[in-house]
Amino acid sequence: MTAATIFFAVLFYAATVILVAGLAYKIVDYARTPAPLKIPTTPAPTTNGGVALRMLREVALFESLFKSNLWIWVFAILFHGALLLVLMRHLRYFTEPVWFWVGWVQPFGLYAGFAMVAGLLGLWARRFLVERIRYISTPSDHLMLALLAGIGGSGLAMKFLMHTDIVAVKAFFLGLMRFDIQPLPSHPGLYIHLTLVALLMIVFPMSKLLHAPGVFFSPTRNQADNPREKRHLAPWAAELDAKN
């Protein structure tokens, strides 16, 4: 057992705990904070079914962004869609036997790696080229893109430039899941890839990546437009009625 194996095992346990606990904390916090007023951006669906559909369009197709800016939409869809395929492709490292559809998605996931990096570079370019977006960009905005591009780049490098022993990598991760630590191949590309992934998991619950759970809690998108038909009252606001 090398020191690197132990280091990455500890790192991934820690990162997983931070990601899961951090996200759970944020989600519970969002869910517990009341939305005292009806503020859907109208025209809005009048039923809960309609709201679910609106949310689905927003999350799957980035409907509002499409209306807003075609360039950002193209790069964003490219990045997020590709990321989804890449994540599905990576499920093969965590399942034994590999689920049939994960096998089916493998070739798509491979090309998606390039699409993902292309999307990221497009988004990044806008931070330099568009004056308005340059103005609002903070160092963390650039670092986040660097982190994601680094993950994509190191992953592609391992596929096309310097192979690593992926059977051993899979054994390592299956081992982590069973609390039976297996040796991790000694490979600089792999070390870089895994360090960046762990970093991403750690910063997720305390960064703007919270937009992922956040969108589901956005009152302008998740409320039904029915204020005249149904009285909407937050607990702290209901107390005011009692005093009247």
Q: Per CB under 8 A, does 163 bind other proteins?
A: no
Minimum distance from residue 226 beta carbon to other proteins (Å): 8
**Helices 166-177 and 3-32: angle between axes, nearest 10 degrees:** 50
Of residues 85 through 144, those in contact with other proteins by CB under 8 A are 123, 126, 130-133, 135-141, 143
> Hey, what amino acid is at 100?
F
Contact by Cβ (8 Å): 215, 59: yes
Considering beta carbons, is residue 30 or 108 the nearer one to other proteins? 30
**Only segment of 2-10, 83-91, 173-181, 235-243 that touches other proteins (CB under 8 A):** 235-243
Contacts of 151 (CB under 8 A, 6+ apart): 193, 196, 197, 200
What gap in Å lies between CA 2 and CA 158, rounded to an integer?
21
The pair of three-digit structure tokens given for residue 7, joined into one six-digit string: 């280091």
4 binds other proteins (CB under 8 A): no
Chain residues 175-234 in contact with other proteins, contact rule CB under 8 A: 203, 206-208, 210-211, 214-215, 217-221, 225, 227-234
- Please give, one letter per residue, the 3-state secondary structure of 14-41: HHHHHHHHHHHHHHHHHHHCCCCCCCCC
Q: Which of residues 76-95 bind other proteins (CB under 8 A)?
A: 76
The gap from C-alpha 193 to its chain's centroid, in whole angstroms, comes to 17
Q: Which residues bind other proteins (CB under 8 A)?
A: 26, 29-30, 33-39, 41-46, 58, 62, 64-65, 67-69, 72, 76, 123, 126, 130-133, 135-141, 143, 203, 206-208, 210-211, 214-215, 217-221, 225, 227-234, 236-238, 240-242, 244
